[in-house]
Structure 1
Amino acid sequence: MSDLPPDPPRLRAILGHLERQIAETEAVGIYLRLQCDAVRQALARASSSPSRECPAQRPGPQRRPPSSAQYLMETKLHLDDPLQVVVHVGGCTIRQGRRTSSAISMQQARMVLTDPVIGAGPGPICRPENKLGSDLE
Structure 2
Amino acid sequence: MSELPPDPARLHAILAHLDRQLADTDTLRTYLQIQRREVQRALDAAGRRPDRRPRQQTRPAPELPPAAPASRPLSGPTGDGSGFMLEMKRHPQHPNPAVLHVDNCTMASQKTTALSDGELRAALREAEDVAPCPFCRPESKVDDAIA
**TM-score tier (shorter):** 0.3 to 0.5
TM-score normalized by structure 2? Answer: 0.41
Higher-Rg member (1/2):
2
TM-score normalized by structure 1? Answer: 0.44
